[in-house]
């Protein structure tokens, strides 16, 4: 579920599958749980009653893959997938451009189609053009050319970005979407940190949300196993039972775990 087929997803290893940049089950479950909390709070405002929320990776996976579970006599399956898939149709698809970069075109209604047809290069297309026809047009110029031209005409289109591109963009660091931190040289021994000084220079995803009335809590990756004892104690596990768990090998003797 969290593995993408080979293709434009990884320009450095074009024939090898790779994990999705967006891990659908992991993030999807968090998003679903947050949405459930919002619904529970809304219901409490209406009824005064609380709700018990349950979320699981398996639930998210089942929801995302739901259409693929359907089968019955006479059902004709039209699944999209495989290394060559670029989109759902010719108007909603990835297209390669002359500079070896890719753009995603998304024409979803008649107004956007008319906007596309108003551009001379696309004036002869009908309401159901072939993907090959559009592919030939986009290969005639660069991605920046097409994005500038189509966007100015009101046609939804974006340049396909790789994770490495997102990491390099300074705006993403300014917004806090990408965070850089040095856990070694720039930290004094007295300064408390959540991570390990052995990590050195670390980059991770920040919080993309912007809230109008309050600042978000700064996110920082935890050390591996660093919260194990605290979590177990929150469930009523005593120090003596924790000692038994350590001696039995159920949890490590030393926490956090040094992954190196």
For residue 192, name the pLDDT band (cuts at 50, 70, 90): low
Residue 225 DSSP class: T
Beta bridge partners of 157: 105
Put simply, whether the predicted model's pTM sits higher than 0.85 gets the answer no
DSSP count for the chain of H helices, then E strands: 9, 8
User: For residues 90 and 134, is the Cβ–Cβ distance under 8 A?
Assistant: yes
Residue ranges, CATH 3.30.1540.10, the chain: 87-159
**pLDDT higher than threshold 70 for residue 3:** no
- Which of 159, 164, 160, 165 has its CA nearest to residue 7? 160
Per-residue model confidence as pLDDT tens digits over 89-100: 999 999 999 988
pLDDT at 158: 94
Q: Which of 25-29, 66-70, 139-143 has the highest mean pLDDT?
A: 139-143
CATH 3.40.50.150 fits 87-159, yes or no: no
């Amino acid at each position: 579920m969290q593995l993408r087929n080979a293709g434009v997803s990884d320009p450095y290893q074009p024939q090898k599958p790779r994990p999705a940049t967006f891990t659908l089950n992991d993030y999807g479950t968090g998003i679903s749980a947050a949405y459930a909390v919002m619904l529970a709070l809304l219901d409490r405002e209406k009824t005064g009653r609380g709700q018990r929320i349950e979320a699981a990776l398996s639930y998210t996976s089942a929801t995302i893959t739901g259409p693929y579970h359907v089968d019955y006599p006479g059902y004709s399956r039209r699944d999209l997938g495989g290394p060559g898939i670029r989109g759902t149709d010719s108007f909603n698809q990835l297209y390669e451009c002359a500079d070896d970069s890719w753009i995603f075109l998304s024409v979803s209604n008649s107004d956007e189609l008319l906007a596309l047809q108003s551009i001379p290069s696309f004036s002869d297309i009908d309401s159901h053009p072939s993907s090959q026809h559009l592919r030939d047009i986009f290969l005639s110029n660069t991605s920046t050319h097409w994005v500038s031209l189509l966007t100015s005409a009101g046609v939804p289109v974006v340049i396909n970005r790789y994770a490495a591109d997102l990491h390099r963009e300074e705006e993403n660091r300014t917004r806090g979407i990408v965070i850089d931190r040095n856990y070694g040289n720039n930290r004094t021994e007295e300064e408390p940190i959540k991570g390990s000084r052995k990590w050195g220079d670390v980059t991770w995803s920040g919080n993309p949300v912007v809230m109008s009335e309050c600042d978000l809590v700064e996110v920082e990756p935890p050390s591996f196993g660093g919260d194990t004892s605290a979590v177990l104690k929150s469930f009523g596990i005593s120090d003596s039972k924790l000692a038994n768990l350590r001696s039995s090998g159920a949890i490590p003797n030393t926490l956090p775990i040094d992954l190196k």
